[in-house]
């Protein structure tokens, strides 16, 4: 049995997209902080996760169609870019409506990332290694999801600003876009 060599220069940027997939899970922690910051009731605060998550329902199929038209790598970069822009928005103005806009951008970006990353991973790996790398990508996503609340809490305690988690995520997202673009 022959095994094809894995090209890490192509695989690693796609695996970094798995890291970004976990970033959207910050919506849970962010909801609590935003609710507190703006004195929101439970009913209004629930708009925050809704604005981030409704896009999976609305855009998964259209994103797949666009992926077929424009390519997996292009769509993955668009998704990671939107995710990064959504993370930057709170630094220009911090208000409840602006945070809803940020969540919309993050939700759309994350939907595109989730639609595009796995098929692109399949393209850059030998078929016999795909399932093990899919498991690795899910592990990376889980670690990323776990780190969000830790980073937000650390930023709140050390710097008095929980929103710094968005800066860290935005920088990481933009690095991922550049890395994939130049690969």
pLDDT 10s digits, 123-173: 999 999 999 999 999 999 999 999 989 998 899 899 999 999 999 999 999
2 lies in some domain: no
Q: Which domain holds residue 151?
A: 8-181
CA 170 from centroid of its chain's CA atoms: 10
82 lies in some domain: yes
Rounded to the nearest integer, the mean pLDDT of the chain is: 94
Decide if 91 contacts 171 (C-beta within 8 A). no
Is residue 79 pLDDT above 90, yes or no?
yes
Where helices occur in the chain by DSSP H, the ranges are: 8-21, 26-38, 42-45, 47-70, 72-88, 96-124, 130-159, 164-181
125 lies in some domain: yes
Residues 6+ apart with CB under 8 A from 96: 34, 38, 40, 44
pTM equals 0.92
pLDDT, residue 24, reads: 86
Query: Given the structure tokens 């951008």, which residue do they identify?
Result: 105
79 lies in some domain: yes
Report the CATH number that the domain containing residue 74 is assigned in CATH: 1.20.1250.20
pLDDT, residue 21, reads: 93
pLDDT, residue 3, reads: 64
pLDDT, residue 91, reads: 86
Question: How far does the chain reach from its first CA to its final CA, in angstroms?
Answer: 29
d(CA 75, CA 27): 23
Of 103, 101, 111, 97, residue with least CA distance to 55:
111
Handedness of CA 174, 177, 178, 180 (dihedral sign): positive
Domain count, the chain: 1
1 lies in some domain: no
């Amino acid at each position: 049995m022959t095994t094809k060599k894995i090209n890490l220069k192509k695989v690693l940027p796609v695996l970094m997209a798995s890291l970004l997939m976990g970033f959207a899970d910050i919506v849970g922690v962010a909801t609590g902080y935003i609710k507190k910051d703006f004195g929101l009731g439970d009913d209004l605060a629930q708009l925050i996760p809704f604005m981030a998550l409704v896009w999976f329902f609305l855009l998964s199929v259209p994103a797949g169609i666009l992926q077929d038209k424009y390519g997996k790598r292009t769509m993955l970069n668009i998704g990671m870019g939107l995710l990064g822009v959504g993370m930057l928005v709170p630094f220009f103005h911090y208000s409840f409506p602006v945070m809803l806009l940020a969540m919309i951008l993050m939700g759309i970006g994350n939907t595109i990332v989730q639609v595009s990353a796995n098929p692109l991973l399949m393209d850059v790996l030998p078929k016999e290694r795909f399932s093990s790398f899919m498991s690795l990508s899910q592990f990376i996503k889980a670690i990323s999801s776990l780190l969000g609340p830790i980073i937000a809490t650390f930023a709140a305690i050390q710097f008095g600003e929980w929103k710094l988690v968005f800066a860290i995520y935005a920088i990481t997202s933009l690095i991922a876009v550049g890395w994939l673009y130049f690969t």
